[in-house]
Amino acid sequence: MRGVAELDCLIQILKVTSLIITEFRSNELEINTMKHSKKSIAKITASIFLSCLITGAHAGTGSEWSYSGDNGPEYWGDLSPEYAKCKNGMEQSPINLSEATIFDDAKSLKSKFDDVPLSVINNGHTIQVNVDNGSFTKTERGKQRLLQFHFHSLSEHTLDGKSFPLEVHFVHIDDAGMLSVLGVFFKLGEENDTLKAILDIAPNHKGVATADGKMLDPNRVMGSKKTEEYYRVQGSLTTPPCSEGVNWYISSDMQELSQAQFDRFQLLFKGGNARPVQPINQRVLKLNSSD
Ligand SMILES: [Zn+2]
């Protein structure tokens, strides 16, 4: 079923590329914009491949990997030369969040997420919802376009050594092709209705499930449209090939899911789908608490 994931990547690329070409055509009298757009198409196409890699959706020439056993996280770096960063990278994700340096220079993150058609992918490593409707988050680096969001259970990042039942990753890309991921933790509590809609149709095995005509509100997974307190650190993809250069933002505002929803995630990926925390090395972990 590798084909499903690869097809998914291809569809994402075609959709975003056609969106850019449409924007490009509407600006064709502006020569500078044309030059810029051509460059953007190449950059963004390359970066969507990277985005697919973030959840292992792209099989490529890499080796099969998993979250346990002989091809589990401790062996990822040995499975393929392409995965070398998994063992020799110095800025790997996830990390334990603690003893952050408080800073005031970064503003709140402002997200504008629009409803998306309810379609859920199980790529064998996570449950994912693709987004191609112009949703975005504004960070200190400018506008970041939302590409997809997916889940890890237990959480990948930890807070003062503590794991949480679930962590959602909102994967964004900017015009320069840089990836930014906004992470949100979930603790046990009330049922989350958007998670319910996703879990109700999520395939138990690799595949795609779509609920025709139904829409999904990503804001209900995000919690707030404005993230005022968050950790910020440079990191990597948390799945092979563990590529670095990813801007990470982890909200300290937690969301809730019910015990039954947590149990469902545990059943989907037995043994969990979280990479263990990695050394922070020379990186600086920042905590924005301004505004
Ligand atoms: Zn992730």
Q: How far is the CA of 29 from the centre of ligand 1 (A)?
A: 40
Q: Residue 183 in 3-state DSSP?
A: strand
Higher pLDDT, 14 or 256: 256
Q: How far is the CA of 23 from the centre of ligand 1 (A)?
A: 30
In order of their start, the domains of the chain are 2-288 (3.10.200.10)
Local confidence band at 222 (pLDDT 50, 70, 90 cut-offs):
confident
Strands 127-130 and 142-152: antiparallel
Q: How far is the CA of 238 from the centre of ligand 1 (A)?
A: 6
Residue recorded with tokens 């404005």: 226
* Cα–Cα distance list, 206 to 92, 101, 128, 264, 285 (Å): 27, 41, 11, 16, 35
**pLDDT greater than 70 at residue 31:** no
Active-site hit among 58, 125, 150, 169: 125
Residues with CB under 5 A from ligand 1 (ion): 169
Paired strand residues for 288:
103, 230
Higher pLDDT, 143 or 63: 143
**pLDDT greater than 60 at residue 218:** yes
Cis amide bond preceding 154, omega within 30: yes
Q: How far is the CA of 115 from the centre of ligand 1 (A)?
A: 21
**pLDDT greater than 80 at residue 152:** yes
pLDDT number for residue 145: 98
Q: How far is the CA of 193 from the centre of ligand 1 (A)?
A: 21
Q: Quick one: average pLDDT of 252-264?
A: 96
**pLDDT greater than 80 at residue 10:** no
**pLDDT greater than 50 at residue 123:** yes
Q: Quick one: average pLDDT of 186-198?
A: 96
**pLDDT greater than 80 at residue 58:** no
Q: Which of 10-24, 71-85, 155-169, 249-263 has the lowest mean pLDDT?
A: 10-24
pLDDT number for residue 13: 54
Q: How far is the CA of 222 from the centre of ligand 1 (A)?
A: 14
Q: Quick one: average pLDDT of 26-45?
A: 44
Local confidence band at 22 (pLDDT 50, 70, 90 cut-offs):
very low
Is 172 part of the annotated catalytic residue set?
Answer: no
pLDDT number for residue 41: 52
Q: How confident is the prediction for the chain on average, in pLDDT?
A: 84
